[in-house]
Structure 1
Amino acid sequence: MDWNLRTCARKGHVTYAPSEADYRDRLHADTPLGDGWRCLRCGDYVLGEPAGNGAADDAPVLLRGRALRSAFILRLLALERWTRGVILILLAIAVFRLKSAQVSLQELFARDLRALGPFFRQIHFNVSDSSTIHSVQNVLHAKPSTLNLVGIAVLAYGLLQVLEGIGLWSLKRWGEYVAVVGTTLFIPLEVYELSEKASWLKIAVLVINVAAVLYLLLSKRLFGLRGGHRAYEETLHEESLLEVQASAAPAEQPAN
């Protein structure tokens, strides 16, 4: 996939007229239909006036190539965070609703157990030995304050996931920091749950979260890694200048 063409097709071309005559002449083309300027992202010529002009040092910093792939990955992570956040928020709502209906549910559960007593005796099923029945009873008999704490904790985690998604989707640096910190805090809990009972889903979630943290730390140079934010910004700026030079370079003559 040509990420540059894909992005230009969605967002439009980016043309720029450097004040340096050498670059300007090579980015400009006279055509029968008027002036054409070379796109700094994909390299195609675009008819009309350039979108910007000035020194090559002030050329727009474009996401292209690897940077565009990085943006695509971050937005995939944002979608995953939003999905998880919505599920957690719905779960928190369910916990709060359970608290309000707890007494009626206890009565309904006890009545159903009594009604099913003859059937359980026929199949020799001992209700008192069932861990599933015990788990349901523990939830139904939990204190309202305990359910409140569980609901608030789940809701806070869900909102954190939504916040991470917003930051990652908008490609903001604060979103990358929030995603790294928030994900790292829960990795020990995921490892503990995996040690208690392993499943492919838990393993997949853990691998995705660890990979996301490492990717963000290294590629975005967070917390001062690989030169930190200044080095990251300098790299983007240098790539922008290189793209001006590469776009302005004379086209290779076809071999005879």
Structure 2
Amino acid sequence: MAIDWDRRTCARRGHVTYAPLEPGLRVRLHAETALGSAWRCLRCGDFALGEPHGSGPADEAPLVPRGAVLRDLFVLRFLAVERAVRGVFIVLAAVAVWKFSNSQDAVRRLFDEYLDVLRPVFRHFHYDLDHSPVVDTLRNTFGYRHQTLLLVAALLLAYALVELVEAVGLWYARRWAEYLTVVATAAFLPLEIYELTERVSWLKIATLVLNVLAVLYILLTKRLFGLRGGHRAFEAERRSASLLEVEESASVPPEAEEVPAPR
């Protein structure tokens, strides 16, 4: 069953009504009921009781997202939440690297003490911890210079900042954020593909697929870089989705909607 994005949003946020100054259009958007005046919602097209939220010329009516535009906004906000969560985790990783760089020797001593305790236990299960890939990786990490670890922490913070800026921009459907998301995400795709050649995991595959779909979706639906008519076609689509709805809704008088079709 298809989702009715317009009524779903109106149910959560309420209707958006507007009283145009043009007499003919105003009459068709307005109805008198036993409970009072009602105006047609610019989002879902239903009549809502009460005074209109705004008034003025029809070409100055608010651009209320509806239909496909409203669906696209939902997708952008999903991507915004994903970017925000990722950014927070990267910040935590940067803080962990920074703290590790300031207490590297203490962490190494603690690691060696635990390794001495665990070595006999693992030897009982015929596992040699001294030649474990995980242990070797940790030991190599201890060999990194303090300045190198600080640089890693700074790069992680910069990456996290980009993710958080993307999240804020996507949440408010800013066009610059859409460009930033496409460019930044596409730039890291080769690295994600390279990581899959080193070691395959479902998390890496899911991340790669999500990022590829996000790039393609934003590119095509938002008409970035001149695709599908570019910014001019995108603005025309937004405007038609709002003002055309007002005109189309007003073209049929409310009384005509209530007349049953002849049998």
Q: Which TM class, normalised by the smaller chain length?
A: over 0.9
**Cα distance in 2 for residues equivalent to 1:7 and 1:118:** 62
Number of the residue aligned with 1:94: 96
1:106 touches 1:141 (CA, 8 Å); kept in 2?
no
**Cα distance in 1 for residues equivalent to 2:124 and 2:54:** 83
Distance 1:119 1:60, change over 3 A: closer
1:120 Cα offset (Å)? 5.8
1:68 Cα offset (Å)? 1.1
Number of the residue aligned with 1:161: 163
Distance 1:207 1:123, change over 3 A: closer
2:87 touches 2:163 (CA, 8 Å); kept in 1?
yes
1:122 Cα offset (Å)? 5.5
1:33 Cα offset (Å)? 2.9
**Cα distance in 1 for residues equivalent to 2:18 and 2:122:** 79
Distance 1:124 1:33, change over 3 A: closer
Q: How does 1:45-56 map to 2 (within 5 A)?
A: 45-56=47-58
Distance 1:117 1:254, change over 3 A: closer
Q: What whole-Å deviation, never above 9, does each CA across 1:172-191 have from its counterpart, x for those lacking one?
A: 11211121111111111001
Return 5+ residue gaps in structure 2 as ranges: none
- Which runs of 4 or more aligned residues in structure 1 lie more than 3 Å from their structure 2 counterparts after TM superposition? 111-128
TM-score normalized by structure 1? 0.92
Aligned length: 256
Q: What whole-Å deviation, never above 9, does each CA across 1:34-79 have from its counterpart, x for those lacking one?
A: 3221112112222233222233222221111111111111111111
**Cα distance in 2 for residues equivalent to 1:11 and 1:124:** 63
Q: What whole-Å deviation, never above 9, does each CA across 1:214-247 have from its counterpart, x for those lacking one?
A: 1111101112222221221121112222101122
Distance 1:140 1:32, change over 3 A: same
Q: How does 1:13-28 map to 2 (within 5 A)?
A: 13-28=15-30
Number of the residue aligned with 1:146: 148
- Is 1:222 matched up with 2:224? yes
**Cα distance in 2 for residues equivalent to 1:16 and 1:118:** 77
Return 5+ residue gaps in structure 1 as ranges: none
**Superposition CA RMSD, Å:** 1.9
TM-score normalized by structure 2? 0.90
Q: How does 1:72-91 map to 2 (within 5 A)?
A: 72-91=74-93
Q: How does 1:46-195 map to 2 (within 5 A)?
A: 46-116=48-118, 125-195=127-197
The DSSP-based 3-state class of the residue aligned with 1:64 is: coil
The DSSP-based 3-state class of the residue aligned with 1:37 is: strand
Amino acid across the alignment from 1:218: L
2:38 touches 2:49 (CA, 8 Å); kept in 1?
yes
2:67 touches 2:241 (CA, 8 Å); kept in 1?
no
Distance 1:52 1:82, change over 3 A: same
Amino acid across the alignment from 2:68: R
Pick which of 46-55 and 91-100 moved more.
46-55
**Cα distance in 2 for residues equivalent to 1:150 and 1:89:** 12
Distance 1:98 1:33, change over 3 A: same
Number of the residue aligned with 2:4: 2
1:124 Cα offset (Å)? 5.2
The DSSP-based 3-state class of the residue aligned with 2:200 is: coil
